[in-house]
Chains A and B, each alone.
Chain A
Amino acid sequence: MSHAKKLFETLVREHADMLTVYLRSALGNVSDVDDLFQETMVVAWRRLDDFDHTRPFGPWLRGIARKLLQAHYRQARARRYTPAILDRLEARLAQLGHHPGDTWRDKLEMLRGCVQALPEHYHAVVTLRYFQEQAVAQLAHTLRLSIAAAKKRLQRARALVLDCMERKLAPLSSPVDQP
């Protein structure tokens, strides 16, 4: 592998989680995330000469991903996502990028704290859904809830995590105006 490719692999590794989160937020479908992730990184590699090395790599990568997402929406005739949603995602990820921490994982420590601080019944539903990757029907069975109740509990848990995240990000809130 050439030296340039080794350096690029370092960049891919460093930004893989951020890009995955961005694409997942904007797509939902996991197999589309795989394809768009690869396409974004390959385009980034081919256009690396256009990258201004004095600026951060993450926003540039998201810029490429956004163009590919818009093409994907047109092709798939997906009308769910609007420019306002993509703008908001970009702003939130930029805000996370400014949060203290050397790595993406470090920056997300506050999110782990938010999950830990959830009341027990919300913590359980988040753990089963996200950490153990159980389908909603399966976790409903595990927790002896109806599927509708399990979905409702998940909705509220996500809202609580968001509230907590906002509180922790607030001292640094630069680019994101409150809704």
Chain B
Amino acid sequence: MTPDPSWKEDVLRLAGAWIDGHDDGTPAAGAASPPSEHGEVTQRYLADLLLVDALLSNMSHDAARVRERRIRRVMQALDEPAATVPARARVLRWAPLLTAAAVLLVVVLGSWIQFARQSLADDVLTAVNEVSAEATDRVYSFRRVQAAGEAGGEPAGRLYLRGRTGLVIVCDQAVLGRNADQFWVVVPPQEVFLSHDFQWIDARATQDEVGLRFVQQLSLESRHIPLMQLASVAELMQHDYDVTVSRVQFGPRVADLLQGQRRSARADLPAIIRLWSDHASRIIQRAELSWAPDNTLVLELLPAELVADQWYDYPAHCQGVPAVQHVP
């Protein structure tokens, strides 16, 4: 590169306006002049900066999922010519069915309203589920409310989530986590328990009077832990709960409040789940998981934090070489 700071600064600003100007990629108004007004050296440097931006964007946690989606779309598109039905024919084929459905909906208006509500709830829940499953780090505070009507005291700890499988809970005495199918607990000074089932760790650690202390300290029960993975909760609600949705104000934001009533008799699952998801981003702002009026777990979204890529693996929370025990 030619070490001439003045032209470089200009190109950096131009590239910055293109890249960071607006989310849709259009430059900030008045910030960028057409590249044809610049010399070729400038244009080449601009191209290099655009390439760096694209390369870095493609290294995001979510890139693999997006890639698979694009590949799926391509492979489906290759099959389309054989399977394509002209749009008009499709409409004609569905027309009688739609008419019948419309008549039926008029007749059973009451049922329709109920159906529409559930369908809307399902759409919102699906969107919340997809956003929660993204491999983006989110941080929540959590506390357990143990008396009906109690507002709840200080948060018991901090919960880090990444998609469906990354979970870390940090408290003073221990760190509990999950990455993919592996649960782990790091207990000072250097003891680590690993298992594919958190309840096994809990049982073993309780026997050693380690886990009991840990769980008590957080005011949690072992059945709470897997449900703190909020992507799993959103998925669970789709299958095991009757869900309704309503639009509410949540601080300065408009939110969708999803309320789920458990259908099954499984006492290990919360009887009621409430999720407040931001209407625009679908990110869960607050969650309440209630097993009983005196047993509710409350999670609240905190400002984003920078964590290491390996944050959800136990070595990131150990100093030196730990003693690792596989349980059972």
Contact = CB atoms under 8 A, between A and B. Distances in A.
B12 A156 contact: yes
B15 interface: yes
Contacts of A12: 71, 74-75
B172 interface: no
A146 interface: no
Contacts of B151: none
B8 to A, nearest CB: 7
Contacts of A129: 56
Interface residues of A, number: 69
A142 B24 CA distance: 22
A128 B41 contact: no
Nearest to A163: B1
B25 A27 contact: yes
B194 to A, nearest CB: 26
Given A132-B136, A151-B16, A24 B35 contact: no
Contacts of B57: 24, 130
Interface in B39-91: 40-41, 43-63, 67, 70-71, 73-75, 77-78
Contacts of A5: 75, 78
B267 interface: no
Interface stretch (A35-43, A50-58, A63-71): A35-43
A159 B8 contact: yes
A158 B304 contact: no
Given A82-B35, A158-B53, A24 B58 contact: yes
Contacts of A141: 303
A13 B75 CA distance: 11
Interface string B1-45: 110000010001101101110011111000010111000110111
A85 B42 CA distance: 10
Residue among B1, B8, B26, B54 having the largest count of chain A Cβ atoms under 10 Å: B54
B306 interface: yes
A3 to B, nearest CB: 14
A9 interface: yes
B1 A179 contact: yes
B303 A85 contact: no
Interface residues of B, number: 57
A16 B71 contact: yes
B304 A28 contact: no
A32 B26 CA distance: 12
Contact of B36 (A82, A130, A152): A82
Residue among A25, A92, A126, A158 having the largest count of chain B Cβ atoms under 10 Å: A158
Interface string A73-98: 00000011110111011001100000
B181 interface: no
Q: Is chain B's interface secondary structure helix, strand, loop, or mixed overall?
A: helix
Residue among B27, B55, B60, B137 having the largest count of chain A Cβ atoms under 10 Å: B55
Contacts of B53: 24-25, 158
B180 to A, nearest CB: 18
A20 B62 contact: no
B48 A92 contact: yes
B71 A9 contact: yes
Contacts of B19: 28, 154, 158
B171 to A, nearest CB: 23
Contacts of A20: 54, 58, 67, 70
B268 interface: no
Given A80-B18, A155-B15, A42 B78 contact: yes
A37 B59 contact: no
Nearest to B12: A155
A156 B52 CA distance: 12
B305 interface: yes
B309 interface: yes
Nearest to A45: B78
Given A16-B71, A92-B51, A142-B306, A154 B20 contact: yes
B16 A155 contact: yes
A108 to B, nearest CB: 7
Given A28-B19, A85-B47, A115-B56, 9 more contacts: A28-B25, A80-B35, A85-B35, A88-B47, A130-B60, A131-B59, A134-B304, A136-B20, A154-B20
The 5 closest A-B pairs by CB, nearest first: A28-B25, A88-B47, A24-B54, A29-B25, A130-B56
16 contacts: A9-B75, A13-B71, A16-B71, A34-B70, A45-B78, A80-B34, A82-B35, A85-B46, A92-B51, A111-B55, A112-B59, A132-B61, A132-B306, A161-B52, A163-B1, A165-B52
